[in-house]
Amino acid sequence: KEFAAACVDDNLQISSRVRDFHPTDVIAVDWHGMMAWESLRCSFVDCEYCLENAIVCYYNFRVYSASSWNHSTCSDNDTQQTDEEMVGNFYRDKEQISCRFADRIICLSEHDRDMLQTLMQDDIETQRNTVKRDDYLSISSRRSTLSAMSKKIKNILILPPPLRGDILDLAQKNTLDSNENYTQFLPPEAANAIKSTTLQPRKKRLFISCVVRLSPEKSPHHFVSLIQKLGGVDFLRRNGLIPLLCGAKSVGCYADQVLADFEYVCSRGLSQGSVWPFVVIKHFLGPKELAAVLTRTAINIHPCFYDAYGMTLVESAAFGVPSIVNNGGKVGAVSLLGSGKGCIDIDLERILEYHDDKKSNDCCYGSGIEELKTLISKSSRKGSHESRVLGAVAEEARSRALNWDEMTCFRSLVAYLNKINADS
């Protein structure tokens, strides 16, 4: 509401600048962008200049109604469930309105496209039921809207976002086998962990990393659970991998619990007399810090079952890091990297036993914990099948990530807008 109101605030002069610019095309990012656009559009209804003829694209970066969560994660279960339903219904209403009034719709993944199509189908059914009770003029108007919505459902474009320019520049300067350029930028926590091992001279990539925001929708607690399933920190020690968890706190009590669990898991289970480091970084990494961590990372774990995109997957790929990701098309970046080509997609839900009776989906490298343990343990053996698998994934992922830059993405967007204008 504040965003929409600010767009028509005379003191900020946003609406006058829009009028002077005279846009023919509008790209509204997420539902709140559509609400802001609607506020602007309405402000010009009685003016000589009108925005009615502008083509409006709703660029959905995340389907909020399908991934909403209650920030009060420390409340009791009944209250939390009720709050989550209210939040989900709020987002559902706003996203249906956004889809209804946009001329075209863009999203980041096949999974999000399917969810938006479901939202629109539900909205069409609701509108049809309303038509039956309305007068003739309203019926005529609504039928026109329903026809347009049916057409939009079939033409949702999937357009993944590109790497940021600064990350792309750093990645292009680095080869798959080089990390010396960025070692000096390693966060102290990571640099000290490397110094405490005897692996540094013979092994450049030491970390099994999870780099996500510490919030429920990113699910870093799955990373902690996966370490336990693999056999704890002793399994990682035997395979020369240092666990690294990096991300700023987003939801306080949830983040505190994840960090406590991670430190607990990484501090226990070692053979008698053994010592092995682990790394906790509690802030967002700057570009050079991120480059330094990723050029030292052997495997990246993307822990959430669903993610609208997952830019850290693409950033990892740019630095030649193979990622393990949940299969089933629920993580958007997989559409860019390629399922089974530029990432290792496995059934994380089955491995973590969230669905004991769930049938395994087809995936790149097995679906059970034993297959994953074999992949990790043998990947460091030069010439092994597992080493070749990860090497091929890293090479393919890097190529796809670096080739999808800002210019390529924006050219695709402009081509799409031009096609819309030509068809209108």
Residue 302: name the closest of 263, 340, 345 by CA: 345
The tens digit of pLDDT for each residue in 35-55 reads 998 888 887 766 655 667 788
Q: Please, what is the average pLDDT of the chain?
A: 83
> How far out from the chain centre does Cα 290 lie?
17
When pLDDT is averaged across residues 84-113 and rounded to a whole number, the result is: 89
pLDDT of residue 79 exceeding 60, the answer is: no
The tens digit of pLDDT for each residue in 103-149 reads 899 999 888 999 999 999 998 888 777 655 544 444 444 545 677 77
Tokens coding 293 = 């961590």
When pLDDT is averaged across residues 209-233 and rounded to a whole number, the result is: 94
Phi, psi of 33 (to 5 degrees): -65, -40
The tens digit of pLDDT for each residue in 371-421 reads 889 989 888 777 888 888 899 999 999 999 999 999 999 999 999 888 877
Alpha helices, DSSP H, located in 173-270: 188-195, 220-230, 232-238, 252-266
Sign of CA dihedral 120, 122, 125, 127: negative
Residue 413: name the closest of 26, 13, 16 by CA: 26
Asked if 34 and 102 count as a contact pair (C-beta separation under 8 A), the reply is: yes
Residue 388's SS3 state is helix
Residue that the structure tokens 């330094």 belong to: 292
Amino acid 362: pLDDT = 44
The helix or strand, by DSSP H or E, that contains position 157, with its residue range, turns out to be: strand 157-158
When pLDDT is averaged across residues 242-255 and rounded to a whole number, the result is: 91
Can you spell out the DSSP letters for 27-71? Answer: EEEHHHHHHHHHHHHHHTTTSSS--TTSEEEEE-S--GGGS---S
Asked if 245 and 281 count as a contact pair (C-beta separation under 8 A), the reply is: yes
Amino acid 356: pLDDT = 40
Residue 203: name the closest of 24, 421, 5, 382 by CA: 382
Residue that the structure tokens 């990494």 belong to: 285
